[in-house]
Structure 1
């Protein structure tokens, strides 16, 4: 599924509202101006690690890029609701998406966790590029088999299995086979 929201447009809007230039944001995120412009203006699929860096520099939660409305009430997601997703690449430099995120708390303001359902598609690019960011992640496999590269270790998880790890350690989540997988992920990233 394609994202109905434009992450690049939201990043640009928040950046502008905080009077931060593209050059300043790129420098503070340790990324090239070319890459930031591609994310903002061409909806380049950024890695989760890069989006976390951008969120941190802008002083917002990662989920802000998915939010349409902020409320103080509980958020309930019903089975029949449209599953609006946003695509990310877990690769730092790969523009081929293989992670489709569905936010489970997009309208909850003030949250400290980011719960997602994630469809993991077999990646076009087989090059392994690990990334890291502050925080923690909990993954629970709902369908398929998932491979987690974590530091120098690899973990294979099947349906019903889970892993909890510190995100500061370089990692990569991908489908272990040439078939899609689905996970429940809860990401915590301090602001």
Structure 2
């Protein structure tokens, strides 16, 4: 009984057709070599003659979608392996909290090496009321989620309510605390700000 002839619909996707064709042909050759299979052995496992397999590897015959499961089974891999599908990294952030000076920080983004702002959800306890201003290089950005936030900036004092934001040059002495109840906010710190606020 002869094997079914694959449909002639071309492989398609976000890459150009020629790029996909070239990548799959390279994978065919590499996987067959890794398994120590001759053309005849690989073709036999796929139910085709060696010349057909050779033409697919060389590009003399175009690969189609229906070829993929047949070729993958013959090589003992999945279609994704044959296509060398690139799996996206896990986008979730491991939100292990850090507590310092009574404040709790949950990271909201991955921490790349080098410069850039790092995002945190921050919870201030209800007893954070004694100002201890600090200054450092950079800028901080704050957005209040709940509670009323006290912001001391130089000689000025501001109260931020839920939905309000502030951005300031951190070379000015600054401090954040609560008016009465606990406060939750989102904060963006540069490398210097993160070092001061989280590591001291």
TM-score (norm 2): 0.47
Larger Rg belongs to: 2
TM-score (norm 1): 0.49
The higher-RCO structure (CA 8 Å, 6+ apart) is 1
Instruction: Kindly indicate which of the two structures has a greater share of residues assigned to helix.
Output: 2
